[in-house]
Structure 1
Amino acid sequence: MNDAEHLIAVIVVNWNNAEETLACLDSLEGAHGRGARVIVVDNGSRDGSPDRIASRCPWCELLRLDDNRGYGAACNAGARYAAGAGTSFAVFLNNDTIVRDGFELELVRALGDGSETAISVPKICFAAVPERLWYAGGIVDLEAGRVCHRGIREPDDGRYDVGGPTGYATGCCMAVRCRDFLDAGGFDEIYGMYAEDVDLSLRLKGAGKQIRYVPQAKVLHRVSSSAGGELHPVKILMKHRAMIRLVRQWCGTAGVVRYLLLSPFRLVSGIVSVGSFYRRAGGGRKGGA
């Protein structure tokens, strides 16, 4: 292990969800044992979860915010906290994930010397159906209002085991240099939840950097558990609003019009795809991208 690998902080955001956060932290004990700092940013929870986390995982650092500022703002606070203590790399990780051993080292190695790669991102599979992919890279076509995961719901059969540049990194799990992330302004906090990861990816790519998919690093995702599942109306509305904001920012009014015209067809297609996926998988808790 080289010196840089001792300067990694894994940042997990919690909000009134100790059970899932604790399961995620259990999977991170190996990373902690290798020298990574594990920082839990609590977004103003009122259910006692910060105290439960502190009691169960005293090896974690707990950063308590006064109120729920949203995922992007909590990650920004965690990155500033980590950088202020001299940490070089930050890995942002959803609390509804389980990581495979060594994932953080693979992601940091992929960042290389910093000349090209700004973000590295792992292969992510469904926790409920671990042989199926959730994310194997990202596809962005804002002119058509399309942002989607490569390989979603397809078998993890080796087809997506070659790494390389990709369209965008998912905020579910991504590694960055603290310096690069903060110099770029971090996540745009106006998004709150959803699309902040796409916006950050586009800004960094616009500055000449790459987003790199690293299939050697693997994460399992209990998808959309905090949002009630992929087809929960609140989640659909939140994603829709975030996409309108993203398309307006990057493509203007004409892009928003195209997005709105195509949205009903994509919504129906998505519902059919999710339903078919879980029927083939034999049921299980509803969830998705």
Structure 2
Amino acid sequence: MSTSPATAVVVTYNSEDHITECLAALARADVLVRMVDNASTDRTVALVTERFPKVDVVVNPVNLGFAAAVNQGLSGIDTDVVLLVNPDCVLPPATVRELVRTLRTRPEVGVAGPRLRDPAGRVAVSAHPFESLGSVLASRFGGALLPVALRRAFSGADRRRAYDACTGTGTGESVAVDWLSGACLAIRTRLLTEIGGLDEGYFMYYEDEELCLQAWRRGSAVVYVPTVEAVHVGGASSDPEVTWPHLYRSMLRFFARHRRGTFHLVRLAVVLRALIGVVLAGMRRVGRSRERAGWRGRAWLEVCRIAVASTPGPAGQEHRKDLRRPQCT
């Protein structure tokens, strides 16, 4: 067993603008680092090999997706804790120590994550209840149109509790939540092995929610730790024309597996949202944002195609209507 407190797995894709700060923070935390690069076309790999010779680097000739790349990085890890860290996330040593301490002193906890802030210091809501038809409608049709306070007022108790924990209006103590953002997570290596790593059926997005769901199903709590923080830029290497289709494909897959009763309603909602997006993009093409409208229109057309072609899968596929997690004591 390594003497390092943890092994961090970092998946990169055109991450040269952020990877240096990310890895420098992990070096200060004295953790082992494995970086898996998903066919970057910038200087990500060159920067890391030049400046961080101790980092174990795996370079993929093609983009395998986030989940598959993480699973590559998990091979042969001999620390009892794994950190999943996005390349645009800066994790201070004190945060690493507290997350590791939480897992080692609380045997009921399998996954732990810190409070996330953006570079301007604003809190990112990174703790969530499991997705439902209502949450999809609120986020995809309400979204920025509804003030956060109003969305909170109409949310269920689980969503309000998670929101309060993230924004600091809760008790300030660690709180069990359904799932945490995969931008920064600490996980028991044994639990990850038992689950089989991340679900590679998700190219990107929703693999963190699936991971936390599988942790709960195996009796391991998912805990948000608001006393320590990390800085997360968010979407640093994302091309919306590529990522939006992946987001909605993963959403539909999650509902097909775990919420089959509302799958067709969610699919209909996605089709309607995509059609609205196509219409709005077409209207914007007459203005000065023609290029932006062009990629938005193409992205929404692909989302619509994905939703129309999506099915809940064959009978007998793993699913469960009741996603309520057990209470954590």
Q: Normalised by the size of structure 2, how large is the TM-score? A: 0.68
Q: Within the alignment, does 1:37 sit opposite 2:22 as a pair?
A: no
The Cα shift of 1:217 comes to 2.4
Does the alignment pair 1:120 with 2:112? yes
Aligned to 1:203: 214
Q: How does 1:189-268 map to 2 (within 5 A)?
A: 189-228=200-239, 232-252=240-260, 254-263=261-270
Distance 1:95 1:173 in 2: 10
Question: Which segment is superposed worse, 55-64 or 161-170?
Answer: 55-64
**8 Å contact kept, 1:20–1:95:** yes
**Structure 1 residue identity aligned to 2:48:** I
What is the alpha-carbon distance in structure 2 between the residues aligned to residue 121 and residue 5 of structure 1? 22
- CA distance, structure 1, for counterparts of residue 96 and residue 3 of structure 2: 9
Q: 3-state SS of the aligned residue for 1:92?
A: strand
Which residue in 1 is equivalent to 2:57? Answer: 62
Alpha carbons 2:203, 2:246 under 8 Å: kept:
no
Q: 1:211 to 1:266 in 2, by over 3 A?
A: farther
Instruction: Determine which of 86, 89, 92 is the counterpart of 2:84.
Output: 92
Contact map agreement 1:123 1:215 (CA 8 A) in 2: yes
Q: Which amino acid aligns with 2:93?
A: D
Q: Identity rate of aligned residues, in percent?
A: 24
* Deviation sequence 1:170-206 (CA, Å, 0-9, x none): 1111111112102111111110100011111111111
Looking at structure 1, the residues matched to 41 and 242 of structure 2 have their Cα atoms a distance apart, in angstroms, of 21
Alpha-carbon separation, structure 2, partners of 1:46 and 1:237: 21
Structure 1 counterpart of 2:125, which letter?
Answer: Y
Change (3 A) 1:260 1:219: same
The worse-fitting range, judged by mean Cα deviation, of 203-212 and 45-54 is 45-54
The aligned counterpart of 2:7 is 9
Q: CA deviation at 1:14?
A: 1.3
Q: Does structure 1 retain, via aligned residues, the 8 Å contact 2:125–2:166?
A: no
How far does the alpha carbon of each residue in 1:238-267 deviate from its partner, in whole angstroms, 9 at most, with x for none?
211110110001122x32123234455799
Q: Give me the whole-angstrom Cα distance separating, in 1, the residues matched to 2:210 and 2:67.
A: 11
Q: TM-score, normalised by structure 1?
A: 0.77
Aligned residues: 253
d(CA) in 1 for partners of 2:18, 2:55: 15
The residue type equivalent to 2:49 in the other structure is A
Which digits, 9 at most, give the CA deviation of each residue in 1:215-237, with x for residues without a partner? 12211111112114xxx454333
**What's 2:322 paired with?**
none
Residue of structure 2 in register with 1:283 after alignment: none
Task: Judge conservation of contact 2:29–2:92 (CA < 8 Å) in 1.
Answer: no
Shift of 1:47: 3.3
Counterpart position of 2:163: 151
Task: Tell me the amino acid that sits aligned with residue 27 of structure 1.
Answer: A
CA displacement at 1:122 relative to structure 2:
0.9
Counterpart-to-counterpart distance in 2, 1:4 and 1:212: 25
1:98 Cα shift?
Answer: 1.7
Higher gyration radius (CA): 2
Q: Which residue of 2 aligns with 1:138?
A: 128
Q: Which has the higher strand share?
A: 1
State the secondary structure of the residue aligned to 2:17: helix
1:212 alignment partner, SS class: strand
Cα contact 1:118–1:177 (8 A) shared by 2: yes
* Kept in 1: contact 2:166–2:226 (CA 8 A): no
Q: Offset at 1:103?
A: 1.2
Alpha-carbon separation, structure 2, partners of 1:267 and 1:37: 46
1:276 aligns with none
Gap change, CA 1:267 and 1:179, over 3 Å in 2? farther
Instruction: Tell me the residue number matched to 1:179.
Output: 190
Structure 2 vs 1, CA of residues 241 and 22 (structure 1 numbering), >3 Å: closer, same or farther? Answer: same
State the SS of the aligned residue for 1:45: coil
Task: Provide structure 2 residue ranges, at least 5 long, that are not aligned to the other structure.
Answer: 140-158, 277-329
Question: Which runs of 5 or more structure 1 residues have no equivalent in the other structure?
Answer: 269-289
